[in-house]
Amino acid sequence: MKTYQRLAILAAAALLPAAAAQADPNTYPFPSRENYCPAGLQPVYYDGAVSCSIPNQTESYFSVMRENAYGARSYRASSGAICPEGVKGCYTE
């Protein structure tokens, strides 16, 4: 391998962790009546735990999960097939 290729691989490997560290995790506001957090912070839900921080999402975690839980509702229209009793098979008009 040439020296240039080795240098390029090392530079890319050094930058990958820095790019991952810059991505902020989603912190959702936690709905609560009491706020025991220090001034300027509020309860947030992150990775299954509630802590004090500044949320970077507008909706709560639970409302986001509730919206995605049911998905789109669909129904299947009847085929309109006529299946007389005692006759093999069905037909449509």
- Residue-wise pLDDT tens digits, 36-90: 999 999 999 888 889 999 999 888 887 877 765 566 667 777 778 888 899 998 8
pLDDT at 92 over 90: no
| Dihedral class, residue 86 (left if φ above 0, else alpha if ψ from -120 to 50, else beta) | left
Domain extents in the chain: 24-69
Residue-level pLDDT at 6: 67
Residue-level pLDDT at 43: 92
| Dihedral class, residue 47 (left if φ above 0, else alpha if ψ from -120 to 50, else beta) | left
pLDDT at 8 over 60: yes
Cα 68–Cα 73–Cα 91 angle in degrees, nearest 5: 155
pLDDT at 26 over 90: no
State the residue for tokens 């790019």.
19
Tell me the residue ranges of DSSP E strands in 1-92.
Answer: 28-29, 42-46, 49-53
pLDDT at 1 over 60: no
C-alpha 40/C-alpha 3 separation (Å) is: 51
